[in-house]
Structure 1
Amino acid sequence: MFRQYELVERVKAYDPNADEALLNRAYVYTVQKHGSQKRASGDPYFSHPVEVAGLMTELKLDQETIVTALLHDTVEDTLATIEEIERLFGPEVARLVDGVTKLSKIEAMGENERAAENLRKFFLAMSEDIRVLLVKLADRLHNMRTLHFIKSAEKRLRIARETMDIYAPLAERVGMYEYMREMQLLAFEQLEPEAYKLITNRLSQIRSSEGGQVDSIALAIKQALAEGGVKVEVSGREKHPFSIWKKMGERHVSFEQITDIMAFRVLTDSEDECYRALGVLHRTWHVLPGRFKDYISTPKANGYRSLHSSLIYENSMRMEVQIRTHEMHRLNEFGLAAHWAYKQGSVRPDGQVGWLRDLIEIVDASHDAEELLEHTRMAIYQDRIFAFTPKGALHQLPKGATPIDFAYAVHTDLGSMAVGAKINGRHMPLRTSLNNGDVVEIIKSRKASPQLGWLSFVVTGKARAAIRRAVRMKEREEIAAIGRKLFDEIAARLPGKLSKKAIKDAFKRLKLEDEEEMMVRIGTAKLDDRQVMEALVPGSTANLPELEDWPKQERAISIKGLTAGMGFHLGECCHPVPGDRIVGLRRKGQGVEVHTIDCLSLADGVDADWLDLSWGETTTGAIGRIRAVLHNRPGTLAEVTGIFAGNRANIIHLQMAGRDELFGTYEVDLEVTDLAHLARIISALRASDAVAEAERL
């Protein structure tokens, strides 16, 4: 652990103008606040924030970031408050500490309980100031280094999985490859201990049996380049154990079949020398076809720049060579942290955090926490391809991306209006997977809208979130239209014409946000006629005698064949209505289940007493269920609602069961008087031009 003066000296070494008093106050504050708290290792708890601050000094970050690192756990684990930190250390440090604290709170929640609002705030804070993420990544890295001290195996596995799923990919997305590799290695050791031991042992055997082979190959590369007139630095290493494990899984091969476990890095003084070095190496050794990548001309989304090529060395040995300048190497290993260190007070590197704006859009569009996690994970880690607009603008997408993913990557509005696509000048289906270098032209129409079927092939979180949001909004509009039609029928029963004020007062009495919300609730049968009338004209339902003739929400069904006082309920599986031949199942300690004679659920009633039942005289409020397949065009739902209203059938429940470009399938529960009433409704539906199919469920 760094002593107080050592930490200050490290900061002053690269920033002579740093506020020494501020750094000292922060160090003393974290020691005092954490007091006698201990870590699982037995070390004082304050050793952790001090080590995190030390990691920040290695990246040569500004004094506010160092202070944030020292204070990052005080609000979460002590009695310190954001207000106190702002008073003592200023608003900038308080804002950064608050951003880091929000992610820590999310981390402590169950996976399916993550608060979308907190996550949205964290991404907003991160996009405004990437230092929030840098501190959090250093915090997680140090926690992973001491993970083995935690006694609970379950907790170690949870932290390791979280690191592998979220933090390592985030480190990769901001170009901090050193952090990413170490986090992956430490998580891999916990998640796959046998595989970790096997691979590290095999690497150790190769290292001892082949002696200095890595050094000898590195020397051969350097000599070949020197003879070609290129002065370089060359270093070699075995590939990362987790990288080898991942490759074994992707290629379905054993360790012995992995031939390119050695990687070599060539550092030059200029970009021009990178390409000269590449030419020399390609003339000296054979190149593996399809294994060359130019990330200098087309950098990765995180700003990573390098030339990658796989060569065949002596004895058919494969080796990967990465060629880059010294400056590229510095930025590649520490990504945005390196940018920040050299651009303090200057322009924020927006080009590398554009994907954060996509994350914020995803958070806003996601319906719940589970959907949010799905979309953000898709957004932060996937292998990438490059595709171009017809004007040459470059967009990076995950492997397997389609023209719809591409359209949403360009702009959300373009994705929503897409009706077709040209790939390299040829018309292709919207579900076509894009390849590296494809030129994609999106054909659009202002009358178009996102289709639910797109979710079966899009792969980006941004596209999935936008499509789901658009489909939900369209469904809401259609349900609101149903509600509006039903509302007009309810209002027509009231004396006199309703004013706008009466409608406004009504949704306020019902404690709803606005008129649209009221229509949606009417359309989904969450508000019945009486509630709406009372909200519009208080007391109106008690003074209207004709109200007795309306369908009632209360059910008053009588069944013959039951013992007096015996309880019963109508089967949800078959929804029997008066006119159906019915039978009862009576199980010990339960009421009687009433089913239609042809209900499939009767097969499960072998252990029950069977009762021969019939309908009584009172049959108000029977529920029939219908499935209707409607043409996917404007107005069809409203027309169907009109059929229900014309046949005096109340909608009890309505839900969409499926949708594609041509049809929408709905399941509707209707309050009907008897089987003949239900049959008339189905006949009317089948006769409608809006309905493709209609049947009883």
Structure 2
Amino acid sequence: MPEASVPQPQPEKLVLVAEAAEAEIYFAPLAMTLATYIDPEGIAHVRDAFIFGANSHVGQARQSGEPYISHPVAVAEILAGLHMDEATLTAAILHDVIEDTAVAREEIVARFGEEVARLVDGVSKLTQIRFKSKAEAQAANFRKMMMAMVEDVRVILIKLADRLHNMRTLGVMRPDKRRRIARETLDIYTPIASRLGLNSLRHELEDMGFSALYPTRYRVISEAVRKARGNRKEIVAGIEERFIHRFGEEGLRVQIDAREKRPYSIYRKMMQKHLTFKEVFDVFAVRIVANSVDDCYRALGIVHNLYKPLPGRFKDYIAIPKANGYQSLHTILFGPHGIPLEVQIRTNEMHQFAESGIAAHWLYKSSHDQGTVTQARAREWLRDLLEIQQKAGNPQEFLESVKVDLFPDEVYVFTPMGEIIELPRRATVVDFAYAIHTDVGNHCVACKIDRRFAPLSTPLENGQTIEIITAEGAEPNPNWLSFVVTARARANIRNYLKNLQDSEAIKLGHRLLAKSLNAESIDFNDIKTDRLKRLLAEYHHDGLSDLLREIGLGNRMAPLVARLLMADENTDEGAESHGAMTSLNATQTPIISGTEGLVVDFAKCCHPIPGDAVVGFLSTGRGIVVHRHDCGNAADVGVHPERWLAVNWADPALGDYQALIVIHAKNVRGGLARIASAAAETGADIDDVRFDDRDVNLTIITVTLRVADRVHLARVMRRIKQVPDVVKVLRP
């Protein structure tokens, strides 16, 4: 009798359960998009992921009431628009299954492979670890996602698409949650999209974030743009026609596209330059796409011959690309009726990468993809992220460092060999040194700017040539943390200080404190023993070594400790000669954290208030003088750099503070009374009023107010702007 045949195991088939079957309609649009660039076998694999995801999310719904699977499919559809590969699309559909369902990572690996599982895991949040605070959890999640992105940039592409769909469906959320998500989008995700060159995603995220965070401002600006469109439509059309005619005469083939600035771009320009909408003339712009780089420069010559360029407003991002690899020529022209007109000129490939950035590797495949500027810049930034992560002490420190790096207002400087180094605005020589190499930063002792010696704290300017002088035994100075601005420099300095041996930290602390005392003509050995004991007790240190270690590690500032040790509380003369130092045992809460026992004064040149970014200057007669970070005097750190300190407001910084505002108002009877009444309604007191009559119609009023903080001042300015005769209110 023949043996019965043993049935062979068959591959498991994925079958939709009844409820998930209703979600099938969501896959149809995605399948149509995939059919334009993925083969049928690949589409079948993505559909298997859809069936698995639909079954996993059965019983779950979005706040809109739709089946939950509609969200991951929409995320995949956004990525399909960028022609992302099969693994990315599969991971996009499954990106929430580990976090929100009972499916384990191992099951993803078994069904869809390690590559997909790694992408899903990179996007998933850290749900199994308990954190001390929500801020710490968010920072840890962010670090995990960014480190996964360093390994595979597709992780952040999935996350950005996920955030984009969430923003598109934000209307169903509570107002407070809408504002929180919008703020997070504008603070973190749009800068990342910008850094990776994903301008098409960035523009949509910015406008939706703006409309959710400031709905009234968005509505007002959008309406103003709509009205301006009617007034200027014929002018812009005429300019476009003249361009087409002139390029035809010159035999240069180009594509010309007139466009409007987006509401968020207009709002940001108004805020940065203190402009009203009527003063933002370049609401409309013209984009010219040429066939080659040579044609771009020919086109520039043609438009400059057609309309005069605005001096100082030409930028060549083709020769020197932006941080994200963006390339284009930008110029501002005097258009008809004196209206400034922005013109951008680029090649077709540059335009494709300007819109899609790093995703253009998938969207526009070519033989030289890997050589593109965008790819190279993105990879360089990802390498920097890895280094920052390795040096960061905790997730929140990492998040702080990356946020600093995400908002670069670029400065371009040169090495002695002519290499271009790109740094954020206000970057110093030390930032430059660390941008060259970590060892150069750690061992730098001096520098030359354009062949002249300059302090290491000197802020750099465009076009300068920087030469770093190093010494083998040199070490990073804790005081550098008070003026460096790049995440890389800050992370490396902190890492070095943390790794100092205990004895080295004490020696360094002793050296720094002795130097600060010598600057005040005091010898370290002349410090009174009882004074030192009181200081150690106040700081809760067991001995002098603990204090010196804290100074050496950068946890306490040597100049502040020196001032406290110098104060002689037993004589009125000593107190007066050293800035009227108060007793260390004073119970008054400090306004600036870490300044217990010191007099704190506020600079009259910039009137800092709580909420402002501030720096401190150690003044012999006035204690610590606090300036706003963007104050013109604070920018001059090259003069006595050892006296400038990084300081922060105490929490809470109670009291009233003087603030200065400038009001442009029509010259009408009773105008000042209405302004004073508006200020009083918000609880602000007026200390002083000065007038500067420009003409019979316009008066410029400088008002000194007393407010609690930046939020209070913003409320006052908002109320004054509502006064009918007020044209503009700004804070100098």
Q: With the length of structure 1 as denominator, give the TM-score of the two structures.
A: 0.68
Q: 1:119 to 1:145 in 2, by over 3 A?
A: closer
Cα deviations across residues 508-546 of structure 1 (Å, max 9, x unaligned)?
xxxxxxxxxxxxxxx9xxxxxxxxxxxxxxxxxxxxxxx
Aligned partner (choices 543, 547, 554) of residue 655 of structure 1: 547
CA distance in 2, matches of 1:139, 1:259: 35
Q: 1:123, CA displacement in angstroms?
A: 2.5
Q: Secondary structure at the match of 2:351?
A: helix
Of 40, 56, 60, which residue of structure 2 is paired with 1:37?
60
How big is the shift at 1:278?
0.5
Q: In the TM superposition, what are the counterparts of 1:134-213 in structure 2 within 5 Å?
A: 134-150=157-173, 152-213=174-235
Q: In 1, Cα distance between the equivalents of 2:86 and 2:279?
A: 49
Tell me which residue corresponds to 1:83: 106
Deviation, 1:448, is: 1.3
| Distance change (3 Å), C-alpha of 1:55 and 1:342 | same
Q: Counterparts in 2 of 1:252-291, with a 5 A limit? A: 252-291=274-313
Q: Which amino acid aligns with 1:330?
A: Q
Deviations 1:597-643 (A, max 9, x none): xxxxxxxxxxxxxxxxxxxxxxxxxxxxx9x943599xxxx999xx9
Whether the 8 Å contact between 1:170 and 1:381 is mirrored in structure 2 is no
Give the CA deviation at 1:481: 8.2
Mark the CA change 1:100 to 1:402 in structure 2 (over 3 Å): closer, same or farther. same
* Alignment correspondent of 1:469: 495
- The alignment partner of 1:186 has SS state of helix
Contact 1:120 1:364 (C-alpha < 8 Å) held by counterparts: no
CA gap of 1:665–1:431, structure 2 versus 1, over 3 A, is closer
1:298 corresponds to 2:320: yes
2:514 to 630, 633, 644: 630
**In structure 1, distance between residues paired with 2:275 and 2:353:** 34
SS at match of 2:405: helix
Partner of 2:595: none
Alignment of 1:600-639 (within 5 A): 629-631=513-515
Residue 401 (structure 2) aligns with: 375
- The yes-or-no answer on 1:430 pairing with 2:320 is no
The answer (yes or no) to whether the contact 1:219–1:234 under 8 Å persists in 2 is no
Q: Distance in 1 between matches of 2:394 and 2:58?
A: 39
Q: C-alpha separation between the residues in 2 aligned to 1:88 and 1:477?
A: 55
1:4 maps to 2:27 = yes
Q: CA deviation at 1:116?
A: 6.0
| Matched residue, 1:599 | none
TM-aligned CA deviation for residue 40 of structure 1: 1.9
For residue 293 of structure 1, what is the amino acid of its counterpart? K
- The letter of the residue matching 2:261 is K
Question: Quick one: structure 1 residues 135 and 107, their matched pair in 2 at CA, closer, same or farther if it must change by over 3 Å?
Answer: farther
Distance in 2, matches of 1:425 and 1:480, equals 36
Q: Decide which of 331, 339, 351 is 2:353's aligned counterpart.
A: 331
Q: Quick one: structure 1 residues 116 and 52, their matched pair in 2 at CA, closer, same or farther if it must change by over 3 Å?
A: closer
Query: 1:385, 1:397 within 8 Å by CA — same for their partners in 2?
Result: yes
CA deviations 1:345-403 (Å, max 9, x no partner) are 98593442211221222222223343322211001222212222122222221111111
Corresponding residue number in structure 2 for 1:604:
none
- Matched-pair contact (CA < 8 Å) for 2:143–2:399: no
1:263 partner amino acid: A
> Which of residues 355, 358, 363 in structure 1 aligns to 2:381?
355
Give the total of aligned pairs: 517
Q: How many Å apart are 1:287 and its aligned residue?
A: 0.8
Distance, in Å, in 1 between the alignment partners of 2:342 and 2:131 is 40
Equivalent position amino acid for 1:169 in 2: P
Q: Distance in 1 between matches of 2:209 and 2:119?
A: 27
Matched, 1:100 2:126: no
Cα distance between partner residues in 2 of 1:183 and 1:234: 26
Q: Determine the structure 1 residue equivalent to 2:236.
A: 214
The answer to whether the 8 Å contact 2:146/2:156 transfers is: no
SS at match of 2:331: strand
Q: Distance in 1 between matches of 2:258 and 2:457?
A: 42
Q: Which residue of 47, 52, 65 corresponds with 2:70? A: 47
> C-alpha displacement at 1:475, in angstroms?
6.8
Deviation at 1:477, TM superposition (A): 4.4
The 3 A distance-change label for structure 1 pair 16 and 324 is same
Kindly tell me: are residues 472 and 182 of structure 1, through their superposed partners in 2, closer, same or farther at Cα, counting changes over 3 Å? Answer: same
Q: 1:160/1:663 Cα in 2 relative to 1: closer, same or farther (>3 Å)?
A: closer
Task: Specify the alignment match of 1:415 in structure 2.
Answer: 441
Separation in structure 1 between the aligned mates of residue 422 and residue 128 of structure 2, nearest angstrom: 32
> CA 1:453/1:318 → structure 2, altered by over 3 Å: closer, same or farther?
same
Does residue 82 of structure 2 align to residue 59 of structure 1?
yes
Going from structure 1 to structure 2, the CA distance change for 1:115 and 1:50 (only over 3 Å counts) comes to closer
Using the TM superposition, give the Cα deviation of residue 344 of structure 1 relative to its aligned residue in structure 2, in angstroms. Answer: 9.6
Q: Check whether the contact 1:244–1:261 (CA below 8 A) recurs between aligned residues.
A: yes
Change (3 A) 1:280 1:481: closer
Q: Label 1:433 to 1:307 Cα distance change in 2 as closer, same or farther (>3 A).
A: same
Over 3 Å counting, the alpha-carbon distance change for 1:35 and 1:214 in structure 2 is farther
- Following superposition, the deviation at residue 211 of structure 1 comes to 4.1
Match of 1:251 among 263, 273, 295: 273
Q: CA deviation at 1:462?
A: 1.3
* Residue number in structure 2 paired with 1:443: 469
Cα gap change, 1:20/1:112 in structure 2, threshold over 3 Å: closer, same or farther? closer
Give the whole-Å Cα distance in 1 for the aligned partners of 2:53 and 2:119.
16
Letter in 2 for 1:176: L
* More moved, 19-28 vs 88-97: 19-28
3-state DSSP of counterpart to 1:288: coil
Question: How far off its partner does 1:469 sit?
Answer: 2.2
Cα distance in 1 between the residues matched to 2:216 and 2:139: 36
CA 1:252 to 1:103, structure 2 compared with 1: closer, same or farther past 3 Å? Answer: farther
Tell me the distance in 1 between the aligned counterparts of 2:476 and 2:500. 9
CA distance change for structure 1 residues 368 and 129 in 2, over 3 Å: closer, same or farther? closer
Deviation of 1:263 (Å): 1.3
Q: Once the two structures are superposed, what CA deviation does each residue of 1:25-46 show, in whole Å capped at 9, x if it has no partner?
A: 0111111111132212222211
> 1:103, 1:380 → 2: CA distance?
23
Query: Quick one: structure 1 residues 136 and 630, their matched pair in 2 at CA, closer, same or farther if it must change by over 3 Å?
Result: same
* Residue 10 of structure 1: how far off its partner (Å): 2.1
Q: CA deviation at 1:666?
A: 9.6
Preserved contact between residue 407 and residue 442 of structure 1 (Cα < 8 Å): yes
SS in 2 for 1:287: coil
- CA positional deviation for 1:234: 0.8
- Return 5+ residue gaps in structure 1 as ranges: 483-522, 524-625, 669-694
Q: Secondary structure at the match of 1:114?
A: helix
TM-score by length of 2: 0.65
Number of the residue aligned with 1:133: 156
What is aligned with 1:513?
Answer: none
Among 20, 25, 28, which residue is 2:48 paired with? Answer: 25
CA contact (8 A) 1:366 1:465 kept: yes
Residue 481 to residue 250, structure 1, CA distance change in 2 (3 Å)? closer
Q: Does 1:315 align with 2:337?
A: yes
- What is the rounded CA distance, in whole Å, between the counterparts of 1:663 and 1:326 in structure 2? 54
Match status 1:456 vs 2:470: no
Aligned CA distance change for structure 1 residues 400 and 451 (closer, same or farther; 3 Å): same
Report the counterpart of residue 416 of structure 2 in structure 1. 390
Q: Please give the alpha-carbon distance, in whole angstroms, between the structure 2 residues aligned to 1:211 and 1:629.
A: 66
Q: Deviations over 1:138-170 (max 9, x none)?
A: 1101111111111x2111111001000000000
For 2:289, what is the secondary structure of its paired residue?
A: strand
How many percent identity over aligned positions?
41
Change in CA separation of 1:117 and 1:344 when aligned onto 2, cut-off 3 Å: farther
CA contact (8 A) 2:150 2:385 kept: no
| Max Rg structure | 1
